[in-house]
Chain A
């Protein structure tokens, strides 16, 4: 059973904290993505990675960074958490083959207080 696993379902952090969201996939996929999901705004792409140590900015990278040291793991980092980063965060992975489906983690609901 293929899997994308996010390290936490729920997180509560304080303003100014450095926050790490971890995502691990066991499908040997080249491509991994981080999205945030907010009511009325759909899925917004934060960062994506096509390979180890490679990263590309998505539509809303400000206030975030990422790390991909190993193929199976893609980490999202909130350098200094703020209340406007309270959201649902979704990780996805997809193979490099054309026209294939993406697999998603279960999501991390982050609340910054």
Chain B
């Protein structure tokens, strides 16, 4: 069945460091791909998405490119801030009778 594998955390970075969180997926067809973010004490919210191969999603300085050939959707940011401290989830959308599929989440802590 469909699945998502993302790198385990936690990840601790200094402010202005470069961030990469790896995500690979297994899916039937070519679904959209999502990154969600969960700030402390809150629910998940959509960070960015890509709808087809080679698309790049971007938001708040984060980027991710849909790579069909490597079935990957890695999240990157060039210069992280303390306010980026959160848990990040890679996800596949609802598809037919298959519920939303999430990675296990990666906790990011950014220290000043």
- By a beta-carbon cutoff of 8 Å, the part of chain A in contact with chain B is 4, 31, 33, 40-43, 45, 48, 50, 56, 58, 90, 92, 94, 98-102, 104-107
Contacts and interface: CB of A to CB of B under 8 A. Distances in A.
B89 A104 contact: no
Interface of B: 31-32, 34, 36, 41-46, 49, 51, 89, 91, 93-95, 97, 99-100, 102-105
A92 B100 contact: yes
Contacts of A90: 43-44
Lowest 3 CB-CB distances: which A-B pairs, in order?
Answer: A42-B104, A104-B43, A99-B32
A76 to B, nearest CB: 15
Contact of A48 (B43, B45, B99): B99
Given A31-B94, A90-B43, 10 more contacts: A33-B100, A41-B104, A42-B104, A99-B93, A100-B94, A102-B44, A102-B91, A102-B100, A104-B36, A105-B43
A98 B93 contact: yes
A43 B94 contact: no
A101 B89 contact: no
B100 A94 contact: yes
B34 A101 contact: yes
